[in-house]
Amino acid sequence: MHMLLAQAAGTTISVAAIGKGLVYGLAAIGPGIGIGLVFGNAIQAIARQPEAAGLVRPIMFIGFALAEALALLGFVLFFLIH
């Protein structure tokens, strides 16, 4: 009986480690795709209308900051999971 409890305790620790890895791994996928889309579309917009670069660049950095905030939330959740 004690061996089963010891094995169960070891399993919960390893499952928690896998859960932590999945939380941050999955939380990083969305912002990675979002940042790629933000910068890709900004480059296309500036290439099409170079005179609009002054308007596009600040909006691009706001989009980058919002997407990166999601990755930071996933990083915080990584540490909050016990």
**pLDDT tens, residue by residue, 23-82:** 788 888 989 999 999 999 999 999 999 999 999 999 999 999 999 998 888 888 878 876
Nearest Cα to Cα of residue 68 among 46, 43, 38? 38
Which pLDDT score, from 0 to 100, does residue 2 have?
54
Token pair, residue 27, equals: 């939380």
Question: Is-contact 75 24, C-beta < 8 A?
Answer: yes
pTM: 0.69
Residue 4, C-beta contacts closer than 8 angstroms, at least 6 positions apart: none
Q: Is the dihedral of CA 39, 40, 46, 52 positive or negative?
A: negative
